[in-house]
Structure formats: structure tokens, C-alpha cells
């Protein structure tokens, strides 16, 4: 999985770097957007790293789209929001966070999109 993550972000080596200090204990620790993510414990973060999410989004700063923390602060973690935001990932769209177009991901299974949303919305608690 880390190899896929590395290959995905190879065009921008500053975005993903494996932690060299603790590589024996943290083979799954990856720095994305300035935030260390343990990809072994978070199904949603693994899915996001394997897709194109970090092309437009960062954990704690706005890029093309809103940061994941902005999203987490805007929405409560409940099944209604998980369902709605997962659908937004699949269909794409514009207007909720400005005029930048969210790329649709029609081949992404709904279950995986929901897992990504659960992870994003859980960041609110882990960052406070």
C-alpha cells in the first residue's frame, strides 16, 4: 500500500514522505499535507491515499478544495452526513466550498466513499 501511495505522489515528492526516523516501528506512517497518518489503522486514510484525494485536498490547509479539517468542522459524524458526503465524492459537483469543481469518482464503490467520509469527519476529534 505504501508503494502505491508513493507512486501516486511521486510527481510531488514534498507531499508524501516516509518517516525515516522511526521506520522500523512506523512502516505505515506517512506524512501527507504536514500531518502524520498511520495508514495501517485507518481504512479511510488508506483509501484516500490510494485515490486522488490529496491532489486537491490537504489535512489542515485549503488547497484547490477545502481542507479535511474544514470539512470535519462543518459536518457532524452521523450516518446522514456520511451518506450525503459519500454521494458527493462519487458524483462530484461545485458550489458548497466555492466554484472549484469536485472531480466525480463514479467508479468508487459507495462503501469505500463512506469509509473515506468517516475518516475525514473523525479528524475533528483527533486534531483537538
Beta bridge partner(s), residue 17: 31
Residue 97 confidence (pLDDT): 85
Residue 4 confidence (pLDDT): 38
How do residues 23-79 score in pLDDT, each as one tens digit?
333 455 566 555 555 554 478 888 998 899 989 999 889 999 999 999 999 999 999
Domains of the chain plus CATH, in order, are 2-126 (1.10.760.10)
Mean pLDDT of 86-99: 90
Structure confidence at residue 96 as a pLDDT band (50, 70, 90): confident
Give which of 29, 44, 80, 74 is closest to 65, Cα–Cα: 74
Alpha helices in 42-127 (DSSP H): 43-50, 53-56, 68-74, 79-91, 110-126
pTM over 0.85: no
How do residues 97-127 score in pLDDT, each as one tens digit?
888 899 999 999 999 999 999 999 988 876 6
Residue 38 confidence (pLDDT): 53
Q: Angle CA(1)–CA(122)–CA(18) in degrees, nearest 5?
A: 30
User: CA 79 to CA 37: how far, in whole Å?
Assistant: 24
Beta bridge partner(s), residue 32: 16, 35
DSSP state of 102: B
Amino acid at each position: 500500500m505504501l508503494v502505491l501511495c508513493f507512486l501516486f505522489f511521486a510527481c510531488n515528492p514534498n507531499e508524501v514522505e516516509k518517516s525515516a526516523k522511526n521506520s522500523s516501528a512506523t512502516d505505515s506512517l506517512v506524512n501527507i499535507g504536514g500531518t502524520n497518518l498511520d495508514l495501517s489503522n485507518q481504512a479511510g486514510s488508506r483509501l484516500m491515499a490510494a485515490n486522488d484525494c490529496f491532489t486537491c485536498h490537504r489535512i489542515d490547509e485549503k488547497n484547490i478544495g477545502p481542507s479535511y479539517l474544514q470539512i470535519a468542522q462543518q459536518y457532524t459524524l452521523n450516518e446522514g452526513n456520511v451518506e450525503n458526503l459519500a454521494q458527493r465524492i462519487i458524483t462530484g459537483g461545485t458550489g458548497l466550498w466555492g466554484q472549484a469543481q469536485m472531480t466525480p469518482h463514479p467508479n468508487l464503490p459507495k462503501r469505500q466513499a463512506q469509509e473515506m467520509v468517516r475518516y475525514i469527519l473523525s479528524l475533528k476529534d483527533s486534531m483537538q
